[in-house]
Each structure stands twice: as structure tokens, then as C-alpha cells.
Structure 1
Amino acid sequence: MIYLVLSITCSVIVGVLLKLAKRYQINVMQAVTWNYLFAIGLSAFFFKPDFSTLNFTVALSPIYLVIGILLPAIFLIQGYAVQQTGLARTDIAQRLSLFISLCAAYFLFNESFDRLKYVGLIFGFIAIVFTIYRKFGSPSSKHTWLYLLLVFVGFGAIDVFFKFVSQITVIPYTTSLFLIFCIAFILSLGYILYLAITKRTKIQLINFVCGCVLGFFNFGNILFYLKAHRAMSDQPSTVFAAMNIGVIIAGSLIGIVLFKERLSKLNYTGLILALVAIVLITLSKLHAVR
């Protein structure tokens, strides 16, 4: 479970940094691009990727290409969703992508669910809705639902594909991670250069610095997430559920203490239900081990 705790911590810090980006007028797309460059450096320095078993066919594996495309694309779509529908509704769409992850655990990875896990997941689903519930103002335009749908599907797909990456044994998973970062960086760099040429968007040093900080925690988030899947390879739903629910709890506490956000009674009820869900899911895992 230590890998999950570390992954949740890094994920929450990434969310805090993205929230602060608007306040300090940071170009999120540029920061995201340099975050992948920094992640590439961290991967090369700490893990020294093994390219001896790497060949052209493996490097162009559909799984690597899909994740390499999805990572920067979902960052960008998430930015559009925040602008068009607000932070609250975008967060709901992102966290409810847990449904996709759990469906994959059951139908693709053939994981068996016991009663404790079923009850825990039910509490978890209710907790997610209660915890992130907000009253919305004016109705959104008729096309904004598409951004939320793409966020929902995108984050769920990323979770599932990372589970597939953790099962690849032909090359070390750290090498796989390095390749994914490279693909994501090349695509992101191409996009910001396109914007610089066509839209005359300035590439600023401050965005590079913020991108390096973002890359450090983003690297940690993905790395520990993969390690959690490896450590609990027979219980992918435990990783899926605990990660999403844990981020909601930690993010809510950070919002209350650091950003002075106000939570309703329904939100606090959701936090309690989330704690119950995590206990039930954890007990389910311990029961399975016995």
C-alpha cells in the first residue's frame, strides 16, 4: 500500500500545482510539455533504461503510442473542460472514470469480486458523488457535455492502458515508461511550436521552470502507480479504487486547509463514506490473500 500512498501524494500535488497555474498566469500547455522533458531526464538518470532488448516493433507498440498520445491530449482537453464547464464538473468527470477502470478489472483482467469489495465499491461510488458535489450556476451550453465525456473516457482509458503496460515483460517497465514520456514530449513540443508559429504564442522561461516542478511530481505519480499495480497484480480494482478515492480525500483536505474551500454537509458525508470504502476494499484484499 505504500506505493499507493506515494502515488496519491504526488497526484494531489500535481493537482495543486495546476490549480495555482491560473493564479500566476502560467501557460499550462507549455508547463505540461516541459514536464515530460523533465520526466524523461528523471527516467534516464534513476532507471537507466535498458535498450538492449528494444526493437522497432516493441517501440511502436500500440499501447505505448496510445498512452503517449492520450497523456498530453487529456491534459489539453481537461484545460478546455475547465474553461467551458468549470473545475467542479471537470473533477467529477475525471474521478467518475473509476467506473471504466473497475469494469476493465472485472471484464478484461478477470478479477473476482467478493461481497466486501462490492459493498466497498458501492460506498466508494456514493462517496465520490457526495464529496465532489457542488451547486452549479447557470446552465452550460449544449456542446460542453462533449468535453466532460472526453475527460471521463480519457482518464479511464489511461488507467486501463497503464495496467496493460505493467504486464509487459519483454522489456523492463521503467524502459516502457521512458518511451511513453518520449512520445508524449515529442507530440506536446510539436503542438506548442505550432502555436508559437501560427498563433505567435511566446515560449517563456517561467513555464519551463514550472514544468520541471510539475514533471517531478507527475513522474512520481505514474511511477508509483505502476509499482502499485505490479505489487498487487491480482487485485487491480483495489489499485483503481483506492487511488481515485484517496486522491479525492487528500484533495478535499488540501482544499479546506490550504485554499479555504467551503464544503457542504453532503461533502463531509462523502469523505466519511470514502474512508469506509477504503477500509472495506482493504479488508477484501487481506481476505483474498488468506
Structure 2
Amino acid sequence: MLDLGLSILFSSLIFVIFKLFDTYKIETPYAITTNYIVASTVGLLFYDQDIVLSSIPGKPWFFGTLALGILFIVVFNLMAAASQKSGVSVASVATKMSLVIPVLFGLLVYKEHLGPLKVLGILLALVAVYFASVKERVIPIKKSILLLPALVFIGSGVIDTSIKYLEETLVPKEEFPLFSAIVFGSAACTGLMVMLVKSPKKAIRLNFRNILGGIALGVPNYFSIYFLLRAFQHETLNSASIFTINNVAIVMFSTLLGIVLFKEKVSFKNWIGITLAVISIVLVAFF
């Protein structure tokens, strides 16, 4: 459970750091690309075996890391935009409602069993995510407003499902740091290519503030994935339970961080959501 708790902590910090990007005028594309370089470097440092670069493309999980790297850079940019425009809690709900996708995948593909109380916990988790993030201010329904959370929902769900599938079928436990490092390295290369395509006539600018923001983001980003991979090794919790606890706890914790650090207003509905989140975690984890 410690691994899962650490994954939740580092994932929640990501939303806070995205919010600080806007406060300190950090350019998101540059910082996100730097973040992936940093995360990949951290993974390589934590890998305690000899690294033979020529052998990495022969790993069974290698091509999966390339696809994940592209997804990471796309979804991370969407998450950053949501955090800056709608607040920390709204961004986390757009991401974490996607727990439905890997949970259904686990039930259908891995034939995981969920008792009545766990099912109730998962349903309460979805309700909790909504109430913890709903705003009192009525937002007009526009296609542009619906598109962003929909893309984040699908992208985050596909990422979580892919990570679990690769961990389950192709990645040995001792290769978790190397696997994570290559995923982040792929994302870094994708980010650099995107910047080069967008600015073919303009050199990439090295800005200390952007680099510092990328370092601040890269370290927790790496550990959020690394500890999630370790959490999947839990002897009693199946993937459906882990994804539910992980996602709803991130929503709850990031909402509380938004209250404490950014003085985000919390309504009665938000407190209901936080309460339901605690209940859902207890049901899924202990029953």
C-alpha cells in the first residue's frame, strides 16, 4: 500500500505544478519536454543493472514505450491546459474519471472478480470524482468545452490500460526503472519534434525558468509511474481496485491541495465528494 500511496502523492503534485506554471509564466511546451528528459534521466539513474543501448530495441516492451511516449506528451499538454484554465480540481476530474476504462479492461480481459462492496465502492468513486470537482458557477455548454475533457478522459484511460497490460505481460519487475525511462525518453523525443515542426525558423530557446519548471515536474512525474507499476504487484488488490483507489485519491488529495495552496473555493457538493471518496477507498481497499 505504501507504493500506491506514494504514486498518489506524486501524481497529485503534478496538478499543483501545472497550476504554478501559469502563476510563474512558465512556457508549458518547453517545460513539459524538459520534464520528460528529467524523468527519463531519473529512471536511468535508478536502474541498477548495466545498460546496453543496442539491446533496448529488442526488448518485448520497446514498441509499446514508443506509443506511450506519444500519448504522454499529448495528454500532458491537455492536462496542463485544463489545470490552468479550469483549476486543479477540474483538471483532475477530467483525467481521473478515466478509471472506468482500465477497470472495465481488467474485468473483461483479465476476468477480475469484484464483490458487491467493491462494485459499490467503484460506483461511489465515480460520484465522488464528480462532486469533488463540480463548480458552483454554471459554465455554458459548448463543443470546445466538452472536447477537452473528452480527449483527456480517453487518452488517460488508454495510458492507464496500456501501462497495466505491459506490466502484466511484458515488463519484468527488475526492468520497471528502465521501462519508465524509455517511455519518458520517447515522450521527450516526441516533444522536441513537435517544437521543431512548430518553429522551423526559430531556434529553441533555453530559458532557466522553463528548465526549472521541467525539473520540478519531471521528478514527481517519474515516481508517479514507477510506484504505480510497483503497486500492481500487490498480492491482494487487483488492477480494478488499484486504479479506483489511485484515481479517486488523487482527485481528493489534489482538491485539498487546491484549497490549501491556491485558496480554491469549495462548495458543499465538493465536501460531499471528498467524503464519498474516503468511503469508496475504504470499500475498495478493505472489503
Other-structure match for 1:219: 222
Q: Aligned partners of 1:94 and 1:143: how far apart in 2?
A: 17
Other-structure match for 1:270: 273
Cα distance change, pair 50–115 in 1 and its aligned pair in 2 (3 A): farther
Other-structure match for 2:34: 34
Deviations 1:84-104 (A, max 9, x none): x73465443212111112111
Asked if structure 2 preserves the Cα contact closer than 8 Å seen for 1:195 and 1:201, the reply is: no
Alignment coverage as a number of residue pairs:
283
Q: 1:143 Cα shift?
A: 3.8
Q: 2:193 aligns with which of 186, 190, 193?
A: 190
Does residue 78 (structure 1) correspond to residue 79 (structure 2)? The answer is yes
Other-structure match for 1:120: 121
**Counterparts of residues 55-70 of structure 1 (less than 5 Å):** 56-58=57-59, 61-70=62-71
Deviations 1:66-112 (A, max 9, x none): 211100111123345567x7346544321211111211121122211
Letter in 2 for 1:86: S
Letter in 2 for 1:157: V
RMSD: 2.4
Asked if structure 2 preserves the Cα contact closer than 8 Å seen for 1:166 and 1:230, the reply is: no
Q: Secondary structure at the match of 1:182?
A: helix
User: Percent sequence identity over matched residues?
Assistant: 28
Deviations 1:28-83 (A, max 9, x none): 11111111111122112121455469353437744222211100111123345567
Q: Aligned partners of 1:135 and 1:162: how far apart in 2?
A: 35
Q: Aligned partners of 1:63 and 1:267: how far apart in 2?
A: 38
Cα distance change, pair 60–246 in 1 and its aligned pair in 2 (3 A): closer
**Counterparts of residues 76-225 of structure 1 (less than 5 Å):** 76-81=77-82, 86-87=86-87, 89-167=90-168, 168-169=170-171, 172-198=175-201, 202-225=205-228
Q: 1:163 Cα shift?
A: 0.6
Deviations 1:208-246 (A, max 9, x none): 111111111111111111110123586001110111111
Cα distance change, pair 210–81 in 1 and its aligned pair in 2 (3 A): closer
Q: Aligned partners of 1:132 and 1:138: how far apart in 2?
A: 13
Letter in 1 for 2:285: T
Q: Secondary structure at the match of 2:55?
A: coil
Deviations 1:119-163 (A, max 9, x none): 111211111111111134452543442222111100011111111
Other-structure match for 2:250: 247
Q: 1:26 Cα shift?
A: 0.3
Q: 1:204 Cα shift?
A: 1.5
Q: Aligned partners of 1:261 and 1:89: how far apart in 2?
A: 11
Asked if structure 2 preserves the Cα contact closer than 8 Å seen for 1:93 and 1:152, the reply is: yes
Q: 1:14 Cα shift?
A: 1.3
Cα distance change, pair 61–38 in 1 and its aligned pair in 2 (3 A): closer
Moved more, 219-228 or 230-239: 230-239
Moved more, 192-201 or 221-230: 192-201
Q: Aligned partners of 1:48 and 1:27: how far apart in 2?
A: 34
Deviations 1:171-202 (A, max 9, x none): 72222112112111111112223334356774
Gaps of 5+ in 1: 285-290
Q: Secondary structure at the match of 1:230?
A: coil
Structure 1 runs (4+) deviating above 6 angstroms are none
Asked if structure 1 preserves the Cα contact closer than 8 Å seen for 2:15 and 2:91, the reply is: no
Q: 1:270 Cα shift?
A: 1.1
Other-structure match for 1:5: 5
Q: Aligned partners of 2:151 and 2:250: how far apart in 1?
A: 20
Gaps of 5+ in 2: none
Other-structure match for 2:232: 229
TM-score (norm 2): 0.89
Q: Aligned partners of 2:82 and 2:141: how far apart in 1?
A: 11
Asked if structure 1 preserves the Cα contact closer than 8 Å seen for 2:26 and 2:210, the reply is: yes
Letter in 1 for 2:57: F
Asked if structure 2 preserves the Cα contact closer than 8 Å seen for 1:49 and 1:175, the reply is: no
Cα distance change, pair 236–89 in 1 and its aligned pair in 2 (3 A): same
Q: Aligned partners of 2:81 and 2:286: how far apart in 1?
A: 39
